[in-house]
């Protein structure tokens, strides 16, 4: 086993180290979610913590790590008698992103259960992690179903496996740590709430600290054992302090004054449910034990809030996590008191200033980050509008000047000038856009697909290990052979060849590639605010349906990939907010760039089907034969059978129906901005029409769009 990087040698990252140590002291806190950019020692710190965990005594030969002084009465390897145990280091178990359900919770041998009546169970990673640490790197990329399973096990302290009426239960109490890069996508708020604490980490901007990080890392890489030996005393001190804090924890007193501050803080920040109050109480108690105290002080409550509340205030993917520390201090001061176990300590005092070696106040503890600003609204806009006044029926919002007029006189400023940023209109719930046919991509909530979870649609012979038994089909396959197998009485003889795997149909997530027209015709008379609102609404829908998203924009003389395909819809929203507008409409260039993006992504993730959402009024200008060239580019998507929908942004009294013609070339459908709304009664068709399903549909639409 390789020598881990010493925990006490990690430079900075005070909040991260403190949160990990608090969970080592009190696993009831509920684990840690570590959020941050790549290269910020997230994984290094987690792996280093495992070396500090005290040893555990286990029942000899028990695959489920039962404690010898109090063995689990329901242990599948039991029953065990109380007696001496065998000491071993606490395990750190890593859950890979591509793990299956059986790998996580364990597998039952259905064949032996049916044919021999034997409850044969192979433990999974949850059993391995019992009384240790379970580490999930890139937890935001893990399938929601697996995240639910491991969080349920962490909350209940047990894992349940049920297959066709055969069930197994075993203890599963572990310290859960997940790490993630927010740029790769967010967890759902419901799953965020299940992690006890969260920590935001970032690389230091201080040159001296960065130098020390490099120096220590190079020294470790040159001689891991020698480097670890130089930090052995510090590691031993922290290990002993964890043991002492665990022993002190039952004696810590959480008074009514501290409880009132906890409740008032959660109420002031409008946190949903009661889990935050409970986690804050457990965290404050662990902080007091870590500091060697038996009373919870105001500083413990403040630090607990900074660790337990920021991620619980995130209600949608565009909310930045964070906590207003001024508001926190005001709330704590309002409900401060020294009666019943709450001291007079300054609520702003939350530990040391970040010394490398742990001290009685814990490593770091300064904690907390101010709320992050939302997407940058800034940026200059090109107010050029070469496509003129096709929008004569559209009126600017009250108090706003048209996009091609100055703000101080109403006179046009032809060809130049800076346009103030256009903010997105209020998002709304959109109609469901889906890819036709039956896919086999990543599980999600958009298009029909063959999945491991969902409604049973049929049966087949198993390919490899049997995971989901189709009982009726198995009985039907075995029944004709009972006499030949010597069965004359009740019962059924089942052999391997009789087993049938259930085939199931659920929903998959898709790649939703937005191709947005940002030319002058789209910017005219503030239309871009409505366009951005529509795209923002579709991004919210993509987040809820577990899609990857990408963003291609075109304006002027070229197209660009504003955001390569990613699971982070908030990154797409930020790029959308600062999207520049103006200039000509290189529609063909936008389509060709989108086609290239899909080609590359198909090589990376061939199972994930794509849905192209083209947001435009259908105009094409610039260069020779721009309309014909755009039509040829659109037909490439039809030839590849890529599902597509055109969001028609044309407005005004006179409409040319160009978006409908473009949808026909794409082999898809067109929908107006109004018809995109879920509460609209104008559209009847919900699914995006692919190639081969009445290819003339898009061409015939013209002025009468059909909602997808």
CA angle 344–348–354, rounded 5-degree value: 120
Tokens of 205: 């901007």
Dihedral (Cα; 285, 289, 290, 293), 10-degree rounding: 110
- Tell me if 648 sits within 8 A of 671, measured CB to CB: yes
Residue 236 Cα to chain centre, angstroms: 36
- Tell me if 523 sits within 8 A of 531, measured CB to CB: no
Q: For the chain, first and last CA: distance in Å?
A: 56
How far is Cα 569 from Cα 604, in angstroms, rounded to an integer?
19
Q: How far is residue 106 from each of residues 128, 335, 621, measured CA to CA in Å?
A: 10, 48, 60
Tokens of 117: 């009546």
DSSP 439: B
Residue 275 bears catalytic tag: yes
Handedness of CA 184, 188, 192, 309 (dihedral sign): positive
How far is Cα 349 from Cα 351, in angstroms, rounded to an integer?
6
How far is Cα 444 from Cα 644, in angstroms, rounded to an integer?
19
> If DSSP codes are grouped into helix, strand and coil, which group holds residue 262?
helix
Put the strands of the sheet holding 197-201 in their side by side order.
92-94, 133-137, 175-180, 32-36, 197-201
SS3 content of the chain, % helix, strand, coil (to 5): 35, 20, 45
CB-count burial class (<10 Å; 0-12, 13-18, 19+) for 414: exposed
In which element (H, E) is residue 595 found? helix 587-604
Segments in 269-381 forming alpha helices (H): 275-290, 298-308, 325-334
CB-count burial class (<10 Å; 0-12, 13-18, 19+) for 117: exposed
How far is Cα 613 from Cα 513, in angstroms, rounded to an integer?
6
Given the residues 91, 210, 246, 275, select the one marked as catalytic: 275
What are the residue numbers of the active site? 275
């Amino acid at each position: 086993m390789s020598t881990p990087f010493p925990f006490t040698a990690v430079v900075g990252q005070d909040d991260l180290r403190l949160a990990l140590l608090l969970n080592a002291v009190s696993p009831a806190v509920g684990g840690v979610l570590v959020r941050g950019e790549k290269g910020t020692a997230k994984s290094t710190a987690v792996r280093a913590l495992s070396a500090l965990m005290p040893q555990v005594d286990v029942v000899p030969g028990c695959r489920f790590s039962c404690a010898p002084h109090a063995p689990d009465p329901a242990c599948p390897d039991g029953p065990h008698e109380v007696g001496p145990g065998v000491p071993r280091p606490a395990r750190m178990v890593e859950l890979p992103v591509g793990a299956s359900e059986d790998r996580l919770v364990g597998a039952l041998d259905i064949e032996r259960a049916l044919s021999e009546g034997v409850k044969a169970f192979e433990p999974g990673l949850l059993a391995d992690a019992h009384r240790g640490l379970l580490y999930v790197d890139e937890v935001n990329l893990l399938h929601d179903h697996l995240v639910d399973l491991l969080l349920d096990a962490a909350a209940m302290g047990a894992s349940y496996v049920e297959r066709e009426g055969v069930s197994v239960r075993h203890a599963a109490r572990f310290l859960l740590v997940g790490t993630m890069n927010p740029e790769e996508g967010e967890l759902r708020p419901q799953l965020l709430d299940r992690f006890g604490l969260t920590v935001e980490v970032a690389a230091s901007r201080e040159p001296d600290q960065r130098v020390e990080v490099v120096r220590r890392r190079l020294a470790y890489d040159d001689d891991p054992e020698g480097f670890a030996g130089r930090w052995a005393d510090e590691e031993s001190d922290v290990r002993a302090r964890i043991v002492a804090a665990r022993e002190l924890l039952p004696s810590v007193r959480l008074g009514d004054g501290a409880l009132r501050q906890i409740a008032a803080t959660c109420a002031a920040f409008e946190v949903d449910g009661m889990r935050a109050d409970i986690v804050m109480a457990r965290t404050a108690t662990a902080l007091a034990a870590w500091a060697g105290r038996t009373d919870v002080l105001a500083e413990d409550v403040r630090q607990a809030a900074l660790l337990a509340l920021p991620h619980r205030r995130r209600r949608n993917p565009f909310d930045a996590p964070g906590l207003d520390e001024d508001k926190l201090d005001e709330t704590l001061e309002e409900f401060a008191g020294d009666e019943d176990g709450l001291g007079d300590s300054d609520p702003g005092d939350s530990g040391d200033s970040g010394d490398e070696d742990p001290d009685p106040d814990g490593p770091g503890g300064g904690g907390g980050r101010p709320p992050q600003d939302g997407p940058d609204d800034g940026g200059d806009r090109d107010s050029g509008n070469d496509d003129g006044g096709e929008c004569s029926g559209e009126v600017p919002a009250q108090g706003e000047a048209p996009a091609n007029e100055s703000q101080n006189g109403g006179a046009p400023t032809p060809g130049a000038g800076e346009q103030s940023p256009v903010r997105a209109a209020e998002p709304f719930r959109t109609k469901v856009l889906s890819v036709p046919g039956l896919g086999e991509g990543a599980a999600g909530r958009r298009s029909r697909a063959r999945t491991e979870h969902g409604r049973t649609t049929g049966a087949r012979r198993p390919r490899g290990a049997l995971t989901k038994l189709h009982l009726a089909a198995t009985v039907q396959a075995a029944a004709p052979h009972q006499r030949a197998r010597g069965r004359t009485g009740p019962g059924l003889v089942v052999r391997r060849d009789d087993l049938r795997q259930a085939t199931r149909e659920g929903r998959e997530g898709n790649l939703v590639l937005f191709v947005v027209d940002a030319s002058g015709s789209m910017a005219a008379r503030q239309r871009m605010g409505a366009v951005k609102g529509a795209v923002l609404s579709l991004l919210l829908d993509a987040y809820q349906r577990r899609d990857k998203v990408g963003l291609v924009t075109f304006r002027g003389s070229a197209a660009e990939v504003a955001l390569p395909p990613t699971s982070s819809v908030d990154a797409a929203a930020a790029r959308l907010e600062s999207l520049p507008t103006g200039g000509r409409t290189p529609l063909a260039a936008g389509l060709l760039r989108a086609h290239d993006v899909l080609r590359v992504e198909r090589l990376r993730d061939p199972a994930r089907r794509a849905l192209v959402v083209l947001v435009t009024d259908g105009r094409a200008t610039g260069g020779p034969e721009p309309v014909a060239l755009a039509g040829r580019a659109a037909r490439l998507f039809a030839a590849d059978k890529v599902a597509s929908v055109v969001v028609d942004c044309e407005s005004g009294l006179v409409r040319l129906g160009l978006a409908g013609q473009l949808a026909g070339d794409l082999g898809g459908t067109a929908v107006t901005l109004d018809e995109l709304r879920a509460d609209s009664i104008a559209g009847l068709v919900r699914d995006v029409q692919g190639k081969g399903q009445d290819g003339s549909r898009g061409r015939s639409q013209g002025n009468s769009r059909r909602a997808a």
